[in-house]
Amino acid sequence: MTIRKLAIVGALLAVHSVGTSAEPTEWEQLVGRWKVVERAGKLDYPWDYINKNGWVVIAKDKATLLIKEGDKEMKLAEFNVKLDATAKPKKVELTVTYIAPEGEKAKEKGTKLAGIYELKDDTIKLLIGDAKDPPKAFPDKDEGVSMLKREKAK
């Protein structure tokens, strides 16, 4: 499983906002558990499995990619996250802090990735690329774009 593929799902969070608005900050809107619901393009293993069984948990300055097998959840990757919610489109920077030992790119801890995102209601649209040449706009056909849907509290 490549770091880029993990980051596409695990990407998100950590806004450095200022002010005291009655409106929730970008950070407050993103915190929670998000189900991977869709990724445009051809899905090979393990990406097809992540698309069906993956979640991203967003907490302060971190995003964690989890996979559920039966009743057991396993952490696949974790990222430190920084957001620029004022950019158009909004920007996200990720730093890999953990990759599951069985991952093919486990040695790439510290890898930096960057991308863009859009938060609308309970859906996150996300496109991640290399930090040296991050995407600047969403493609017309959503190729490589991931969609995450907020999981409602039970």
pLDDT at 2 over 70: no
Other beta carbons less than 10 A from residue 111's beta carbon: 19
pLDDT of residue 144: 78
pLDDT of residue 40: 63
CATH for 112: 2.40.128
Tens of pLDDT, residues 46-99: 666 777 788 999 998 999 999 888 889 999 899 999 999 999 999 999 999 998
Dihedral through CA 27, CA 31, CA 36, CA 42, nearest 10? 20
Other beta carbons less than 10 A from residue 46's beta carbon: 18
pLDDT of residue 10: 54
Six-digit token pair at 68? 């559920």
Average pLDDT, the chain: 80
Q: How many domains does the chain have?
A: 1
| More confident call, 153 vs 133 | 133
Q: pTM of the predicted model, to two decimals?
A: 0.77
Six-digit token pair at 36? 């991977």
Q: Which spans in 1-96 are helix H?
A: 3-10, 26-30, 47-53
Tens of pLDDT, residues 5-26: 455 555 433 333 333 345 678 8
Q: Which domain holds residue 43?
A: 3-150
